[in-house]
Chain A
Amino acid sequence: MGFKDMVKDKVFIASVSIIVGIILYTFIYPAYFTKIDPTKWFTHPLRIPPNPQYLFGTTLTGQNLADLVPVALRNSLMIGLTTAITSIIIAILLSALVTLLRRGVSGVMVFIDTMCTIPPLPVLIVMIFTWREYITMPTIGLILSIFGWAWPSRALISILSSLKVRTFVYTSYLSGLPSYMIMIKEFMPYLIRYILVGFINLMLWGIGMETTVAMFGAMKMEIPTIGTTLYWALRYQAFLLGLWWWYLIPVAFLVALVLPLYIIGMKIDEYLITA
């Protein structure tokens, strides 16, 4: 599949436009159309089902979901992005260092394996819970990347070590190609694919992790994210009271954000594997 085919692919176009639409909704709408701070409680009438005035209805905590959802999505997206960026940078630097130094691979691998085995949730919950007074969305992303870097590093190191002993790399090396050119010309085409896919997977992992931590109530609960919105819906028994819009609409938006991201990742992967 060529680049043009990828860009013309209907599923790809649909995914990109959904993501662009959601990003516009989360960044433009709260900035220009929201009149009342959506994080404030009891600013709207309670438990109104979706209607023309309140497009997504209101919650039992008196928040307008049409105002709340974009802010929550933006925060979740921010967490996912920061996690992905920091983790992937750590993974790239570490794997490049280990491969270039040509030693300590097994030691680093043992450490990475250990980090993979340590369950991230408890440590993350304690950290985010104790720091929740001072925390901002990018900080949560940074905290999540304490654990996020391990899996991509593992993948990158094994790819790099297998690439290093390939014949074409030796050929370039013996022909006198400088090492940075080998890095760019021989390694990058293979790595780019894993980096991009790893990036999107990390983002999904970050968003999912944030939702889980928030479900335990360990977040800054007054800051709306998808997780905290669901937490309050659960606490206020929205499921039993039949307030379906309170939990279904945020979830629908989250799925509408996550699925196209994943599809884009797959399409890029398909393109790079053939290129």
Chain B
Amino acid sequence: MHPLVKYVIQRFLRMLLTIWIGLTLVFIVSRIMPFNPADNLIARILAYGTRLRAEEIEAMRKTIYELFGIGDPIHIQYVKFLYRYLIGDMGPSLTYFPAKVSEIIASALPYTIFLLLLASLASWAIGNMTGVLAALTKRERLSKAVEYIALGLQPIPFTIFALAYLIFYVLILRLSIPAGGIVRGMPFWYVLQDMFKRSLPPLTAIIIWGWMGSFLSMKNLALKMKYEDFIEYAKLRGAPRRTIFQYVARNAFVPQYTYLLLSLGMMFTGNALVEYLFSYPGIGILFYTSIVNADYNLMLGIAYMAIVGVAIATFILDLTYPLIDPRIRYPGQ
């Protein structure tokens, strides 16, 4: 088998493993809730003021219990849960009753994956470029200053920065935040254009903050790399600065890319937060709606779909990994 095919299969299996572990986590979380979400749902439906006869309520209770899969032994519940979530049947949403959770999330998920991929790649690229430049530049004071700024800002939680950026964006720059829901029934390019337009405020928020992590680690890597033998040799043979820059960047990219792949899950946190703060129609804002309405079905569905979304995004980036790391293209050579 070609090593690349093997690699892709391996990564695909890794994605399935991530989804499975995520599903198991969601299952555990849904079963250790201190109350029964099915009873909660029944109480809420009754509280809407519907007049039902006793036998109707009993029938409804039975249906809802079946829907939530309660009443079976735990391992059967687990298998049923896995099956239902994998085929995308996560029950109805309480907020948008009777719309299905899977439909609501499916329309928001592309927006989230788009923002997540764009933001993480852009901030990663900017951070790495500036990192290499800062390590190789002759203007050491400037690079030190940038490093100190990054070091000083990095420990501050992203939440604080996102709020500050929101205030700055709206109250000081007086810019407007694009509003409106998810675009439906339009050609693909139009949707993509709309996604990009909508994503600008949250995207800039993530990029302004996100480059610092990769900048700092890249600078450290590149500084170490600067004294490697092959760089010394390139210098001695009189290679131009551009070539040296390329050598250092190319070699330091590999571990940085691995880091990017692993950190997508962490980046999702900031992603969801700016989606909610800048009303970008992704999963973040949906999450907020589900919390405000105590919509457990939607919440669990989002937790699951967020894991799936990040797993897919990681898989997409995994597919580009052989371009970065030639050792995967030509193993053992």
Interface residue ranges, A against B (CB under 8 Å): 110-111, 113-123, 125-127, 129-131, 133-134, 204, 207-209, 211-212, 215-218, 227, 230, 234, 239-240, 247, 251, 254-255, 258-259, 261-262, 266
Contacts and interface: CB of A to CB of B under 8 A. Distances in A.
Contacts of A126: 26, 29-30, 296, 299-300, 303
B24 to A, nearest CB: 11
Interface of B: 14, 17-18, 21-22, 25-26, 29-30, 33-35, 151-152, 154-160, 163-164, 166-167, 170-171, 261-266, 268-269, 272-273, 276-277, 287-288, 291-292, 296, 299-300, 302-303, 306-307, 310-311, 314
A255 B160 contact: yes
A216 B303 CA distance: 14
A217 B288 contact: yes
B158 A212 contact: yes
Contacts of A215: 159, 273, 276-277
Contacts of B287: 122, 125, 216
29 contacts: A110-B14, A114-B21, A116-B266, A117-B18, A117-B265, A118-B18, A118-B265, A119-B268, A119-B310, A121-B269, A122-B287, A123-B29, A123-B307, A125-B291, A126-B29, A126-B30, A130-B34, A133-B34, A134-B34, A204-B155, A208-B158, A212-B157, A216-B273, A217-B291, A217-B292, A227-B159, A247-B163, A255-B156, A261-B155
A69 to B, nearest CB: 15
Which of B155, B158, B163 gathers most chain A CB within 10 Å? B155
B291 A122 contact: no
Contacts of B264: 117, 119
Contact of A230 (B154, B163, B262): B163
Nearest to A201: B155
Contacts of B155: 204, 258-259, 261-262
Contacts of B314: 117
A100 B185 CA distance: 58
Nearest to A131: B34
Nearest to B314: A117
A258 B163 contact: no
Contacts of B158: 208, 212
Contact of A211 (B160, B276, B291, B300): B160
A204 B159 contact: no
Given A119-B306, A122-B287, A211-B160, A114 B14 contact: yes
A118 B25 contact: yes
B157 A207 contact: yes
